Structure 1
Amino acid sequence: MNKEKQFFSQYAARAAVLSLIEEVELTPKPGLVDSANTGSHSDLTIHLMRKSAESLKETFKEMASVSYGISPSQTLREEIAEIGRKGERIMYEVTGGINTHKGAIWALGLLVSAAAMGKGSYTIGKIVTMAGETARFPDRYCPIVKTNGGRVAIKYGVNGAKGEAQQDFPHIMRFSLPILKRARSQGRSEGDAQLHALLALIAHLDDTCILHRGGAEALSFAKNQAATVLNSGNFSKLKNLNDEFTRRNISPGGSADLLAATLFLDKIQANKAVNEFRKEYEYIH
């Protein structure tokens, strides 16, 4: 593996893992695992989520490596899918069979792959376009296993994670990423900026995790409540909202995955972070 390819693959993998860890550590989040509590998840802990994220570093590194400098294709689609399935098996080994990051492997995997296609030079718009093009190729070797997200997408006629990727991640491009940047430009703390992005996703996304747990009523409630808090800017209401989400068994897991994907795209475009990692990489190697 040439030096630039190795460097970028390691950087992209670390950025993906850090994005997953930032997402889980963001506090307070309604219905989700964070530093204060486990939200609607009695089988998860923040420690387990961190371990799961760390276990995926090699998965993302391998996806970046096989995608480096090439274009979307049927072959590449199936290659990264196989790497992703291997990553899922590693995740399940680490978590004792609990699904912590399956949706994130899909979304982040496609974005890591797309970023590597441009050798780190692609704009965010180009990255999501290439990720969408890759996602639109069928995976002929995908095991025929019905997932909760897939069943819900059919039942309620929503896109789900697959459709989101195939449409070039519209909720990231229209909502979470611009709102994240706008909140920062207004002088808000990084945590508050990320909460703005998350609430925007919950308010607009047809989150299949919410639909699976509580149906259309739960989704409508979550969207309305997130929009109310976002519009008021009063994040002191988030603790009470977390209590209500927990009581109703609402978990916006799809929104959490897209927040991690948003943070990844933001990192991959942060030249300062890339340059700092390059110095560290060159020192080690």
Structure 2
Amino acid sequence: MKGSHLEKFTSAVASMAVSSLIEELELTPKPGLVDKKNTGAHKDLTFQLMRASADSLRDTVKEIVFVSYGRLPSQSLREEIAAIGRDGEKRMFEVTDGINTHKGAIWSIGLLASAFSTGKGRFTTEEILSMAGKLARYPDRYCPVTDTNGKRVIKKFGVKGAKGEAQQGFPHIRQFSLPMLNHSRAMGLTEEKAKLYALLSLMAHLDDTCILHRGGSDGLSSVKEQAAFFLISGDFDLLNQMDEEFIHQNISPGGSADLLAATLFLDKISKIQSLNEVSNEYQLI
């Protein structure tokens, strides 16, 4: 691939990643999460700050895509994209004044973008998920040893967390959110409602470490039960009720939000690949 073409490819993938983060942010109403209606259970966040944070990650994704292009999964590649991700976190924290807005999204979307690039933009969704899992299973010898909320929750409650989810090839995206997104569209729901169904399918099944950190096992069980009930009832008024309850209980399904953004990213990739089959006008490479 010539330099100019590679530059177009990296820019296109980065744009899809940022757009996915912004679409997740704008989706309303999201129980306990920042959206166009309110800031959910996050008193330290604003819609504008989340938007600025998403925009700040564009160069991070571009760099990850660039170094990953056409390479096989390896510990070297894993460590290279991890270093880029940590630099991206620093830029994010500069924009947010130290508030963690998208650290989880950098991890998940960064891995998926890298996996897509290793296949030179030709991998299917299943191949992207599988490759991302392979990359995540390589150790990062340079990862700083820190005590985070996520690590404490994983140890306390025995859940796999974002790292385990990635190492297994993002099973909750493969089994729940992506099929739900496509099924909801096939049933004739609007894009907004289809995305909400995808989010609630994640909330109904994921051992969300953000929920566990704030609400413990009881809080997680309650969120899963309410999300499952919504999926059965299809009553969108329940989302506003859940939002009020989550805000009162200081519960945020942040892990589910990160995976929804990753789901939307994969969805965009699949659409581009489909368009490539019928028109060169949309080709990325």
Q: TM-score, normalised by structure 2?
A: 0.95
Q: Is the 8 A contact 2:246 2:252 kept in 1?
A: yes
Structure 1 residue 3, shift from structure 2 partner: 2.9
Structure 1 residue 272, shift from structure 2 partner: 7.3
Distance 1:281 1:175 in 2: 29
Q: Aligned residue for 2:160?
A: 159
Amino acid at match of 1:216: S
Quick one: percent identity of the two aligned structures? 61
Alignment partner of 1:17 is 2:50: no
Distance 1:274 1:100 in 2: 33
Distance 2:29 2:274 in 1: 26
Q: Aligned residue for 2:93?
A: 92
Q: Aligned residue for 2:113?
A: 112
- Structure 1 regions of 5+ residues with no counterpart? none
Q: Is the 8 A contact 1:8 1:119 kept in 2?
A: no
Q: Is the 8 A contact 1:200 1:226 kept in 2?
A: yes
Distance 1:273 1:190 in 2: 18
Q: Aligned residue for 1:36?
A: 37
Structure 1 residue 279, shift from structure 2 partner: 5.3
For residues 198-256 of structure 1, what are the alpha-carbon distances to aligned partners after superposition, in whole Å with 9 as ceiling and x for unaligned?
Answer: 00000000000000011100000000011111110011111111000111111000000
Distance 1:273 1:281 in 2: 10
Q: Is the 8 A contact 2:272 2:282 kept in 1?
A: no
For residues 36-72 of structure 1, what are the alpha-carbon distances to aligned partners after superposition, in whole Å with 9 as ceiling and x for unaligned?
Answer: 0000000101110000000000000000000011111
Q: TM-score, normalised by structure 1?
A: 0.95
Q: Superposed, which structure 2 residues align to 1:15-94 within 5 Å?
A: 15-94=16-95
Alignment partner of 1:216 is 2:200: no
Alignment partner of 1:133 is 2:125: no
Distance 2:72 2:275 in 1: 23
Amino acid at match of 1:115: F
Q: Aligned residue for 1:230?
A: 231
- Structure 2 regions of 5+ residues with no counterpart? none
Q: Is the 8 A contact 2:177 2:260 kept in 1?
A: yes
Q: 1:47 to 1:281 in 2, by over 3 A?
A: farther
Distance 2:69 2:273 in 1: 21
Q: Is the 8 A contact 2:272 2:283 kept in 1?
A: no
